[in-house]
Amino acid sequence: MTTAFEQRYGFPRRDVRLENWRTRPYCTWSFQNVSELVPSAQVSSAAEAEPGEDPSDILALTLDLPAGRETVSAFLERSFTDSLVVMKRGRFIADHHAPTCEPASPHLVFSIGKSLTALLAGTLEDEGKLDPSAPVTRYVPDAAGSAYGDASVRDVMDMRVSLDFDEAYTDPESIFARYRRSMLWNPGPRGQTLREFVLSLRKGQGPHGGPFRYQSPNSDMLGLIVEAASGERYADLLRTRIWEKVGCKGHCMVSIDAEGNARGAGGVSITSRDLARIGEMLRNGGIAAGRVVLSERWVRDTTTGGDRQAWKDGDFAKLLENGSYRSKWYQSGYASGAFMAIGIHGQWLYIDPSAEVVIVKQSSQHLPVDDPLDHETLRLLRTIAERV
């Protein structure tokens, strides 16, 4: 007998396992149910029901893409989009969800979690508990002897650590596979905890503070730093410093390892509306519902203060030709001043200050990285921001 689960997703629940949960078709379910596969700490268990706004006008827009014109609706289906949420001047104007996506289900946003971890660092800097110019070892003394032993917190926040690490998502024999076992995201012998893995990494060639190098363990290190600087758990920090102040309404969690170390580089699951609310707070210079979440100074530095040369010499210059990177947020280099957070498998938080628009796109793309599709997605985001 076919179950309701199979009718909806096209496969039985028992087929989703640790070795395949990040691949299609299984990720259409698993990206919304990470806690059934990986240990997770609750940030908030709230799940306030919210009516969605009609997305019809936005779905009918046309995109000019390299292969020709395409409707937004067709592009969203082709790019395995689970949800698309649009805000204009602080008001939700469109909510689109795929048939397999529950609006109230927290969706794994992968490396957008890096940007959220940096927001925690920003709140601690505002409180005088964290100094970005300080050495990492001020907060994590056992980092001495690792790649981070002579790095600054700022090097970590801007992905300018000299690190001997290869971000090879699909190589089962790489150091990245060992990294994923340490965080309990892959099957097999665990070996080290996430903390032990990060502190075992060695310095690469060249000094810290050089080109932008996208290496995820830097953000797990930042997670360790914010916990040490505050004396609080990551999940509690996210709830008290961001969640409650912004006025988020849904369920949120972060994956943890066997010892409770939070995955600050990409373990956060969050609803699309709540992610948009965080983006709206940043669009308003760190203010949400009349209260200061982050200082305007910190937000301005994060959204405009990136080193353009470090970006041009780095890993992602082809994605944003005139872009830059600061405190784990991408600066577009567009005339609009747009900035964003990005996660693998098609996760986007796009903020356009000029158009007063915030857009969230959550997806279950099969490939972790798809450069042509990323460029098309940027076209989608820019088109929506310009036309709503």
User: What gap in Å lies between CA 79 and CA 82, rounded to an integer?
Assistant: 9
Going by C-alpha positions, the residue among 341, 342, 304, 343 that lies closest to residue 324 is 304
Task: Give the bridge partners for 363, in sequence order.
Answer: 81
User: What gap in Å lies between CA 103 and CA 81, rounded to an integer?
Assistant: 13
Q: How far apart are the first and last CA of the chain?
A: 46
User: What gap in Å lies between CA 386 and CA 282, rounded to an integer?
Assistant: 19
Going by C-alpha positions, the residue among 320, 247, 325 that lies closest to residue 284 is 247
Per DSSP bridges, beta strands 357-363 and 252-255 are unpaired
DSSP secondary structure letter of residue 54? P
DSSP secondary structure letter of residue 180? H
CB distance 74 to 59 below 8 Å: no
Q: Which two tokens stand for residue 331?
A: 């600066």
Q: Is 161 exposed, middle or buried (0-12, 13-18, 19+ CB in 10 A)?
A: buried
**Looking at 73, 111, 332, 363, which residue is catalytic?**
111
Q: Is 40 a catalytic residue?
A: no
- The SS3 call for residue 45 is coil
Segments of 310-355 assigned E as strands = 324-326, 329-331, 339-343, 347-352
Identify the helix (H) or strand (E) that includes residue 96.
strand 91-97
Compute how many other C-beta atoms are within 10 angstroms of the C-beta atom of residue 179. 24
Catalytic residues: 111
